[in-house]
Structure 1
Amino acid sequence: MPLTKTDFITLNEAKDPQASRLLFAIPKKGRLYEHCQKLLAGADIQYHRKNRLDIALSTNQHVSLVFLPASDIPKFVGEGIVDLGITGQDMVAESGADVDEVMELGFGKCDLCVQVPIASGITDVKDLVGKRIVTSFEHLVTKYVAQLDADANKTRKQPVKTAVSFVSGSVEAACALGLADAIVDLVESGETMRAAGLTPIHTLLSSQAVLIANKKAPHPELTAKITRRIRGVILAARYVYCNYNVARAKLAEAIKITPGRKAPTVSPLENDQWVAISVMVAKDKVAEIMDQLEAIGATDILVFSITNCRA
């Protein structure tokens, strides 16, 4: 039986007799779990998780971390059993949970795709009407297929119904085993899909990890604080801090190359013909930016990593 909010509060108050803590749900395994560990460290949410325990108290914030299957987190957040959570947008959509999607986190990106055997020659989802589809996203696929059937049956004398079957794992094997004519499953790199001889013909949704919150969270100030910290970590991962010197006569050109998020910081040097510039630049463009700065005569170009920021 899943833990209830009463169970969590009882455990928390047994260890911490003061006010109940903010409950923050984290995926308990997989790639999302690994990314979340970096996110928590960057946001300075410190904790020690004992072996085989799925609840851990933060040692420096009034927060308890609850480790859950990613698919359960939207339901737990929506029902107010936990206050905050990190999961995939696909999980939120599949659950139908009524939650606030606070921010996209930029990792765990994938697409939920309709896939068919390459040998089938099927290229249009309309050709799947009346056939068999296997998926672990039963709610989303049933809703999508119902609309497909409704559209198709407008022009048919004999109504048809597409069969949707649920499996919890190894969805990609369903067609090869003769259980389905198509599957609907997540595609990240596409390697598993190609190895199974499948090809995508339609994308139901694109997904990534998101921070979600209960709409009536009882800790609004702490929720806002944790959200700001996580936003700072996400932003810091996209930028680096660039410092360089440039001739004052080239200042306008330099600012065009490094405009910053709002504006660069320009400081005078002892040599009044030169200035120092400090600015945030996109991490994925930094090499090209350095080349452009060097081309206009900038010197002492230094790049620093950013671990967290507020911008």
Structure 2
Amino acid sequence: MSAANSSPPGNCRFAIPKKGRLHEKVVAMLKGAGLEFRREPRLDVALCVGQPITLVFLPASDIAKYVGEGNVDIGITGLDVVKESMVEVKHIMDLGFGACKLCVQAPVVDKITNVEDLAGKRIVTSFPDLTREFFGPLDAKKGVTTSIKFVSGSVEAACGLGLADAVVDLVETGTTMKAAGLEIVADILSTQAILISNPHAKHGDLVDLIKRRIEGYITATKYVMIVYNVSSDLLAEAVKITPGKRSPTITTLDDGQSKSVSSLVLKKEVNDKMDQLHDAGATDILVLNISNSLM
């Protein structure tokens, strides 16, 4: 690896997906969390501005192994990848995006409703270890051995090509599955993007900083600040409507008879909260977007 494509000694190495369904969301999250960087063309590393952190761009399917083996200190990948990699990592936090399910899927025309009927059959998957773990008890129960074949892509085409009786693959919207004439027979795992670290990482302070920054950004994307005025005798009822993430901020107005209240409210609930506050007697109701936060 060239010097330009390596991490300076002493930097915390942070692996993120180099492409695929998680890449754009991870990059947007890091920038929103203040971890600015510039990635030069054709390079797999980028230095964060103002922090001794090196971003390492890797295939999402490899990140858990790199973190578990200590090649990088921290990383972002799917829970499904972590489980399939069978390595020891520290699960720091869920990130709330990239949600999908790992499912057993079979051709609709076969009308299979009981996953036990697939024990002893041919299964194609990109998750052979999780698939073996799932079918192991079913095989033992029936006294059979399920044939599990690994493929790295186009899993959904295996049944149509006559290579498999069923597949185990990720389902997000189900569009690809339905287009291939497949349907879900059983769920194996619910997954999403997660932040992980090596259990023996030497950069605990930077791991904590990254976690704190990301938590702040996630809070900012989920919440808005609602600010309103309310008379003191109606305050208790108004605060029940907007209890805040921890508690609201309340200040006394110059008239001595009214309060100004600031509180975090989930974005998805803000319109209902405004209506409820209006009906409770609150006035001057404002909603402010949050670009970032530290809790």
Give TM class, smaller chain.
Answer: over 0.9
**1:9, 1:20 within 8 Å by CA — same for their partners in 2?**
no
Q: How do 1:129-208 and structure 2 match up within 5 A?
A: 129-153=119-143, 160-208=144-192
Distance in 2 between residues matched to 1:94 and 1:224, nearest whole Å? 26
Query: Any idea what SS the aligned residue of 2:60 has?
Result: coil
Aligned partner of 2:278 in structure 1 is 294
Query: How far apart are 1:259 and its partner, in Å?
Result: 0.6
Distance 2:3 2:119 in 1: 46
**Alignment pair present for 1:256 and 2:240:** yes
TM-score (norm. length: structure 1): 0.91
TM-fit CA distance, 1:310 = 2.1
Deviations 1:130-187 (A, max 9, x none): 211111111110222222101222xxxxxx2111111111111111111111111000
RMSD of aligned Cα (Å): 1.6
Residues 68 and 120 from structure 1, CA distance in 2 versus in 1: closer, same or farther, beyond 3 angstroms? same
- Report if aligned partners of 2:74, 2:195 keep a CA contact under 8 Å in 1: yes
Match of 1:276 in 2: 260
What pairs up with 1:225-240 in 2 under 5 angstroms?
Answer: 225-240=209-224
Give the secondary-structure state (helix, strand or coil) at the position aligned to 2:7: helix
Q: Which amino acid aligns with 2:149?
A: S
SS of residue in 2 equivalent to 1:72 = helix
Alignment of 1:44-59 (within 5 A): 44-59=34-49
SS in 2 for 1:111: strand
SS at match of 2:22: helix
Which residue matches 1:12?
Answer: 7
Q: Tell me by how many angstroms 1:309 deviates.
A: 1.5
1:104 to 90, 94, 101: 94
Q: Matched residues in 2 for 1:307 and 1:32: separation? A: 21
Cα separation, partners in 2 of 1:67 and 1:241, compared to 1, 3 Å: same
Residue identity opposite 2:282 in structure 1: A
TM-score, length basis structure 2: 0.96
Aligned to 2:226, what secondary structure does the other structure show? Answer: strand
Which sections of structure 1, spanning at least 5 residues, go unmatched? 14-18, 154-159
User: What is the SS of the residue equivalent to 1:98?
Assistant: coil
Match 2:108 to one of 103, 106, 118: 118
SS in 1 for 2:224: strand
Q: State how far apart, in whole Å, the 2-side matches of 1:197 and 1:10 are.
A: 44
Give the fraction of aligned pairs with identical amino acids, expressed as a percent: 53
Q: Secondary structure at the match of 1:114?
A: strand
Query: What is the alpha-carbon distance in structure 2 between the residues aligned to residue 87 and residue 10 of structure 1?
Result: 21
1:270 deviates by: 2.0
Q: Post-superposition shift, 1:10? A: 9.3
Tell me how far 1:290 sits from its aligned partner.
Answer: 0.9
**Equivalent residue of 1:31, what SS?**
coil
Contact 2:249-2:262 at 8 Å conserved across structures: yes
Alignment-mate amino acid for residue 78 of structure 1: G
SS at structure 2 position matched to 1:276: strand
